[in-house]
Amino acid sequence: MSVRARTRFAPSPTGDLHIGGVRTAIFSWLLARHTGGEFYLRVEDTDQERYVPGATRRILEAFDWLGLTLDGGPDHDELRAMRTNEDYPGALDDGEYKGIPGPFVQSHRLHLYKQWAEWLVAHGYAYRANETPEELQRMRAEAQARKQTFIFREEMRLRTDVRADEPHVIRMRVLPRSGRTEFDDLIKGRLSFDNAQVDDQVLLKMDGFPTYHLAVVVDDHLQGVTHVLRGDDWLPSAPKHVLLYRYFGWPEPQWAHVPNVLGTDGKKLSKRHGAQSVFEFRDQGYIPEALINFLALLGWAPGGGDEQNVFTREELIAKFSMEGIGSSPAVFDYNKLDWLNGVHIRRLPAEDLAARLVPFLARAGILVDTPEQRARLLRIVPHVQERIKKLTDAAPLVDFFFSDIHPPPAEMLVGPKMDRLQSLEALRETRRVVAEVEPFEDALLEQALRALCQALGLKPTQLFTVVRNAVTGKSVTPPLFATMAILGRKTCLIRLDRAIARLQSGM
């Protein structure tokens, strides 16, 4: 086993968790679990303008649903102390931090960022500046007019006598001015950036909040992060962070910039391709076991010629390694996700699947409340389990078990290559058989109805189509005899009688 990794997921509470971000969280979680280390959540709420009330609570809910267990993160008190009360019932209680120092919400750590920004000023690695947004805008426009990227440098300050007690920002001093900043990335290999292209980034803003760049370095260091996994859109910021570690004299974590996720058309994954947030996937009937499996395989493979595609959480933890993460973008294939979801649904114990189906059935207007209804669902589940890819697929297959059906139109009651009279006779004979079969079980029903086919000179598909349509009102259902046995003799007889009446009246 490699060294124990301490990893974190550090979302900004600006909305629901995007599936690409969750994939990075899963890699971080797997690395921590594989090495027996820790995984924690840090809320990066330093951009007060983009803050979305309730976003943190929903991140915690998404983690709970996915089963991404945390060793540290904001507890109830800390969540309640956020700008909008973000408490969540499943949040951590006190003392569950496995040695990771909190707080875990960046707006509760402002004193630390201030302290370390001042340290940088005192040691010559940062300076004070107070250009107004308008002045900066003008400088940016001038650079643009010269077709240059705007890179702020100390020499460009409009006022050099900025005092500590007046409003100002603190900017990092990129040093040395020329030369390169180099570092190793576990996924991208050795990377090298030209210092002349690295901005004298604002570290502490006028409002006393840090920018992401200062906060991420201070927190990752103080909280003992060993591996920084994040999307490779952060790569341009990495040299700033590397320089800050070097200024502070802190050991650098291992860097791992994870390639983007693309749609099957090769474009960056977006709304156009389908669901985006974890909750959209949940509401569309995907189960967390499948989503985790699928997302882990987006850019990671077990290697060593292992072609396995279906993994439990435990198998992923056992097999995960950083070497298995590829350096090219991963493609999000919704068909593969559907397939994996079906596979994981089939692996669920019937009671578990039944419980997960209940809210989806309710959404389709099928209430499974009483013990009798629950027992009925449990009998149905093994027959639909093989046929569904998503939890939403079940409702149309089972609704006729729970509520009365509209008697099907006469055309639907006429079997293939049959006429009305033949179909009517078939239904009448079926009614007789159904009234007599004892006990009312699928094997006996099958025997009796197959014998009836012979007697009537019908092919099984002919008779069974008529009967299926009559008792369920549908052409696609779970297996017919099991369906009839679960519906029960009384319901089958009522529906057969109605079908007979319907065919008769149309004659």
Residues belonging to the active site: 271
Three-state SS at 254: strand
- Structure token pair of residue 253: 């974590």
H or E segment to which residue 255 belongs: strand 254-258
Three-state SS at 39: strand
Q: Hey, CA dihedral for 299, 303, 305, 310, is it positive or negative?
A: negative
Nearer to ligand GLU, 12 or 472 (CB): 12
Residues that bind ligand GLU (CB under 6 A): 10-12, 44, 212, 216, 230, 234
Q: Quote the least distance from Cβ 43 to ligand GLU, whole Å.
A: 9
Nearer to ligand GLU, 213 or 431 (CB): 213
Comparing CA positions, the residue from 5, 6, 9, 8 lying closest to residue 278 is: 9
Q: Hey, CA dihedral for 206, 212, 217, 222, is it positive or negative?
A: positive
| Cα 59 from chain centre | 10
> Are 202 and 171 contacting, i.e. CB atoms less than 8 angstroms apart?
yes
Nearer to ligand GLU, 102 or 478 (CB): 102
Running DSSP on this structure, what letter comes out for residue 172? E
- What does the alpha-carbon distance between residue 75 and residue 94 come to, in Å, rounded to a whole number? 6
Q: Quote the least distance from Cβ 331 to ligand GLU, whole Å.
A: 22
H or E segment to which residue 171 belongs: strand 169-172
Nearer to ligand GLU, 11 or 102 (CB): 11
Q: Quote the least distance from Cβ 499 to ligand GLU, whole Å.
A: 59
Nearer to ligand GLU, 257 or 495 (CB): 257
Q: Quote the least distance from Cβ 242 to ligand GLU, whole Å.
A: 13
- What does the alpha-carbon distance between residue 315 and residue 140 come to, in Å, rounded to a whole number? 51
Query: Is 98 annotated as a binding-site member?
Result: no
Terminal-to-terminal C-alpha distance of the chain: 78
Q: Quote the least distance from Cβ 97 to ligand GLU, whole Å.
A: 19
Which residues are known binding-site members for ATP?
A: 271
Which residue ranges are tagged as binding site?
271
